[in-house]
Amino acid sequence: MNEQATLHLEYLYGPQWQHVVAIVERAAQLTAEERERLNAAAGRIAETQMKNLQNVAANGGGLAGLLAGFGQQTTGQPLQIATQVAKGFGRARNTQIATAVAGQAMSPGAGAGDIGGILQSLGALGAVTVVSQAVTAAVLSDLVGRGDFTQSVYDDLVRPWQEGIAD
């Protein structure tokens, strides 16, 4: 790859552009089985988040407890932490571009008005979510250990992706 292309990719995705490109390229080649595994992983994440909210409601006195603790509950979520770190280190644009490109890679016909591509995209919303989390983590991977973006947060973001594409 020539130097101009490298600079362009670094401008788009940040200093960890190789990691981002690898995920985007792999996302474009997902099999139906891998998409299903990624959708299932997204479902498990959503279920865990729902249980956490239910626990807050049960321990804090019902709806009032849920509403009182709602903001506190979401601030420790990996994606919210990543979003704050991206903003704090000037990488919000990089994460936005990476997630948009990854979504397009998973549904190449959707941008051309192809109804089949759109329907395929809707059937893979969970997979798109998992891939988006993975590219967000990739964009920020050199910031592990800075602020609240710990190795554990990074791992929580990429684990569903890694497990979904594992053979």
Q: Domain residue spans in the chain? A: 14-47+77-165
**pTM of the model as a whole:** 0.77
Tokens 């990488």 -> residue: 91
Mean predicted confidence (pLDDT) in 27-31: 92
SS (H, E, C) 32-99: HHHHHHHHHHHHHHHHHHHHHHHHHHHHHCCHHHHHHHHHHHHHCCHHHHHHHHHHHCCCHHHHHHHH
> What rounded mean pLDDT belongs to the chain?
82
For position 7, what pLDDT does the model report? 87
Structure tokens at 8: 């362009």
For position 51, what pLDDT does the model report? 76
Q: How far is CA 85 from CA 14, 32, 48, 123, 161, in A?
A: 14, 33, 23, 30, 21
Tokens 């979401």 -> residue: 74
Is residue 118 within 8 A of residue 136, CB to CB? The reply is: no
For position 167, what pLDDT does the model report? 61
Tokens 């602020």 -> residue: 147
59-114 confidence digits (pLDDT tens)? 655 555 555 555 444 446 899 999 999 999 999 999 999 999 998 888 755 445 55
Residue 145 has pLDDT above 90, yes or no: yes
Please tell me the number of Cα atoms within 13 Å of 124 on its side-chain side: 31
For position 109, what pLDDT does the model report? 55
155-165 confidence digits (pLDDT tens)? 999 999 999 99
Residue 4 has pLDDT above 90, yes or no: no
